[in-house]
């Protein structure tokens, strides 16, 4: 009994570790320890809800001004000085909250998934644990291992439970992100070696990185950057995403778009910016000479915004359209992060949350429709607003959020990104703004083709509206979409102090 009492007393001190451990235990339980599908479902839902509660408890005691906090450390590989160290600052915390908030919804959405539900849910829970670990790791080796480990469950989710062309998509996804990751591993090892660090602890490596020359910084920046750019994904390393999304099952798409892409944005801030400040300034704002007088990061971001949107315009498959829209929207995130001012970079982080909610909601809705129609071909739909008014109404709200309508969440991220970027590199903000026009174009055009016009064809006439369970999944998302749109300040209060800390380092203050 003492042991249990002791355990309960330690809970408040180990919330971050719990956020990682609970889903992991849930994965083991649902995947291995039970034979019953129903028990696995409820176990998975329970674990995801518990993790959400733990992250909320973390939020309660969180002090935005205090930097990284609630750190848990366990020795791991003493010889290398690697520890299982987890902790959160504001940037980590909002992404953890995004993950733990979405996970129960994903579990409920996957509830009736017919095929080997236990393994399916276990894969998601393992994924959740790994992603939370990525967002909270305070040790670079832990970060790297978990960053790579996320590939495995997602590879399985696409490769086992995916669509017709799942093998191709899964291998492509795996290879692409793995390659990006490997360049990063090289950089990690080099940094450890060349900087003379005593451990892989985050702070030690930051110190080690300070001794690097500008040329070293450039190379290492590039290596880290590639790993994260594939994840985000940025043009031209984005083509795994549309295939992965089209082949992934609904819940997989939701998790991929809403959470996994954010590992890239998070990596940029946490590692590229802090480890290599001089290279970051040069490559982001074009403060160098010659090749380095071009703000390359912003150029890539703007290309991503416009290119993703233009290609999205002509996609015949609604899921592919949303996948390309992610390329465009994540371009905004990258633009904000590398604009390197408090407004834009904080908004870049907030926009990661917003994109997670809007795109997650979109993929859920598309999945609901796919369950009914077994197609995602836009041309096969038409006039559905008459047949499924609730579905159409929710779809429109989410579309409006995605095209950054003021009053909904997308705007309160995109607008400060652009406004902040304008203060640094005006033309990048102006060009990026046209992403807003294009987003309206491809989203409303798709809406028009799917939901407006005459209701024709037996399939369209037989489509049924959302069930209470599906509405129940959407309601929390819609509530947050509106709430953040009207009152985003709590998010900014969490994020800005941490972002300011990072920027202070970048700007050498």
Interacting residues with another protein between 414 and 453 (CB under 8 A): 415-416, 418-420, 422-423, 426, 429-430, 433-434, 436-437, 440-441, 444-445, 448, 451-453
> Which member of 28, 53, 179, 471 binds another protein (CB under 8 A)?
179
Per-residue CA distances from 508 to 29, 137, 203, 217, 285 (Å) = 48, 24, 16, 15, 15
> Which member of 57, 370, 500, 501 binds another protein (CB under 8 A)?
500
Q: Within positions 377 to 416, which residues make up the interface with another protein, using CB under 8 A?
A: 383, 385-386, 393, 400, 405-407, 411-412, 415-416
250 in Cβ contact with 364 (< 8 Å): yes
CB of 292 to another protein, least distance (A): 17
Q: Which helix (H) or strand (E) holds 296?
A: helix 296-313
Q: Within positions 240 to 269, which residues make up the interface with another protein, using CB under 8 A?
A: 240
Of 394, 409, 396, 390, nearest to 444 by C-alpha is 396
What CA–CA distance (Å, rounded) separates 413 from 492? 10
What CA–CA distance (Å, rounded) separates 413 from 484? 10
By C-beta, is 167 or 469 nearer to another protein? Answer: 167
> Which member of 185, 299, 380, 505 binds another protein (CB under 8 A)?
185
Stretch that binds another protein, among 199-207, 304-312, 367-375, 469-477 (CB under 8 A): 304-312
Q: Please classify residue 37 by burial: count the beta carbons closer than 10 Å to its beta carbon, then call 0-12 exposed, 13-18 middle and 19+ buried.
A: middle
CB of 464 to another protein, least distance (A): 16
CB of 273 to another protein, least distance (A): 15
> Which member of 311, 318, 362, 366 binds another protein (CB under 8 A)?
311
By C-beta, is 17 or 385 nearer to another protein? Answer: 385
Stretch that binds another protein, among 10-18, 235-243, 261-269, 473-481 (CB under 8 A): 235-243
By C-beta, is 59 or 313 nearer to another protein? Answer: 313
Stretch that binds another protein, among 231-239, 270-278, 296-304, 371-379 (CB under 8 A): 231-239
CB of 502 to another protein, least distance (A): 12
Rounded (to 5) percent helix, strand, coil in the chain: 80, 5, 15
Q: Within positions 312 to 351, which residues make up the interface with another protein, using CB under 8 A?
A: 313-315, 341-347
CB of 103 to another protein, least distance (A): 26
What CA–CA distance (Å, rounded) separates 67 from 203? 12
Stretch that binds another protein, among 4-12, 266-274, 278-286, 311-319 (CB under 8 A): 311-319
> Which member of 42, 76, 219, 292 binds another protein (CB under 8 A)?
219
Q: Within positions 142 to 161, which residues make up the interface with another protein, using CB under 8 A?
A: 155, 159
By C-beta, is 206 or 313 nearer to another protein? Answer: 313
What CA–CA distance (Å, rounded) separates 197 from 194? 8
> Which member of 178, 299, 303, 505 binds another protein (CB under 8 A)?
178
Q: If phi over 0 gives left and psi between -120 and 50 gives alpha, with beta otherwise, what is residue 177?
A: alpha
Of 302, 281, 251, nearest to 44 by C-alpha is 251
Q: Please classify residue 467 by burial: count the beta carbons closer than 10 Å to its beta carbon, then call 0-12 exposed, 13-18 middle and 19+ buried.
A: exposed
442 in Cβ contact with 308 (< 8 Å): no
- Dihedral (Cα; 381, 383, 386, 391), 10-degree rounding: 40
Q: Within positions 459 to 498, which residues make up the interface with another protein, using CB under 8 A?
A: 487-489, 492, 496
Stretch that binds another protein, among 27-35, 185-193, 195-203, 463-471 (CB under 8 A): 185-193
Angle between helices 489-506 and 277-285 (to 10 degrees): 110
- 167 lies in the binding site for another protein (CB under 8 A): yes
CB of 439 to another protein, least distance (A): 9
Stretch that binds another protein, among 34-42, 47-55, 181-189, 246-254 (CB under 8 A): 181-189
CB of 251 to another protein, least distance (A): 21
What CA–CA distance (Å, rounded) separates 297 from 283? 6
Of 244, 241, 95, nearest to 156 by C-alpha is 244
What CA–CA distance (Å, rounded) separates 73 from 315? 47
121 in Cβ contact with 40 (< 8 Å): yes
CB of 239 to another protein, least distance (A): 4
> Which member of 182, 206, 380, 505 binds another protein (CB under 8 A)?
182
């Amino acid at each position: 009994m003492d042991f249990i009492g002791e355990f309960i007393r330690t809970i408040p001190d180990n919330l971050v570790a719990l956020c990682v451990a609970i889903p992991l235990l849930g994965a083991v339980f649902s995947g291995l320890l039970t034979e019953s599908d129903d028990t696995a479902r409820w176990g998975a839902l329970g674990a995801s809800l518990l993790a959400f509660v733990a992250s909320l408890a973390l939020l309660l005691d969180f002090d935005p001004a205090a930097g990284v906090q609630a750190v848990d450390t366990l020795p791991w590989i003493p010889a290398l000085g690697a520890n299982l160290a987890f902790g959160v600052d504001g940037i980590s915390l909002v992404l953890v909250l995004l993950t733990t908030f979405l996970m129960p919804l994903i579990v409920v959405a996957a509830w009736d998934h017919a095929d080997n539900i236990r393994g399916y849910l276990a894969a998601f829970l393992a994924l959740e644990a790994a992603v939370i670990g990525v967002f909270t790791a305070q040790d670079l080796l832990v970060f790297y291992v978990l960053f790579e480990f996320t590939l495995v469950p997602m590879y399985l989710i696409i490769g086992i439970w995916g669509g017709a062309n799942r093998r191709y998509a899964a291998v492509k996804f795996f290879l692409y992100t793995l390659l990006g990751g490997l360049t990063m591993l090289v950089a990690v090892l080099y940094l450890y070696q060349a900087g003379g660090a005593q451990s892989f602890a985050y702070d030690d490596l930051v110190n080690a990185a300070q001794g690097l020359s500008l040329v070293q910084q450039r190379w290492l920046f590039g290596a880290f950057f590639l790993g994260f750019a594939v994840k985000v994904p940025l043009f031209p390393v984005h083509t795994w995403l549309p295939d992965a999304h089209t082949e992934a099952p609904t819940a997989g798409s939701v998790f991929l778009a809403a959470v996994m892409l954010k590992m890239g944005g998070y990596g940029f801030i946490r590692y590229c910016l802090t480890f290599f400040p001089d290279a970051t300034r040069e490559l982001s704002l074009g403060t160098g000479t010659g090749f380095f007088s071009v703000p390359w990061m912003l150029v890539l971001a703007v290309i991503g915004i416009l290119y993703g949107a233009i290609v999205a315009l002509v996609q015949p498959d609604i899921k592919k359209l949303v996948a390309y829209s992610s390329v465009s929207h994540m371009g905004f995130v990258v633009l904000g992060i590398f604009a390197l001012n408090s407004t834009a970079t904080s908004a870049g982080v907030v926009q990661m949350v917003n994109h997670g909610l809007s795109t997650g909601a979109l993929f859920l809705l598309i999945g609901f429709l796919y369950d009914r129609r077994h197609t995602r071909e836009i041309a096969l739909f038409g006039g559905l607003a008459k047949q499924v008014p609730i579905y159409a109404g929710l779809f429109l709200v989410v579309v409006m959020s995605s095209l950054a309508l003021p009053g909904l969440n997308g705007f309160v991220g995109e607008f400060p990104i652009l406004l902040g970027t304008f203060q640094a590199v005006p033309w990048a903000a102006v060009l990026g703004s046209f992403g807003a026009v294009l987003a309206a174009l491809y989203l409303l055009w798709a809406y028009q083709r799917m939901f407006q016009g005459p209701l024709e064809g037996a399939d369209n006439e037989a489509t049924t509206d959302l069930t209470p369970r599906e509405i129940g999944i959407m309601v929390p998302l819609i509530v947050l979409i509106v709430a953040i749109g009207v009152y985003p300040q709590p998010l900014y209060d969490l994020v800005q102090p941490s972002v300011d800390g990072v920027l202070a380092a970048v700007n050498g203050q």
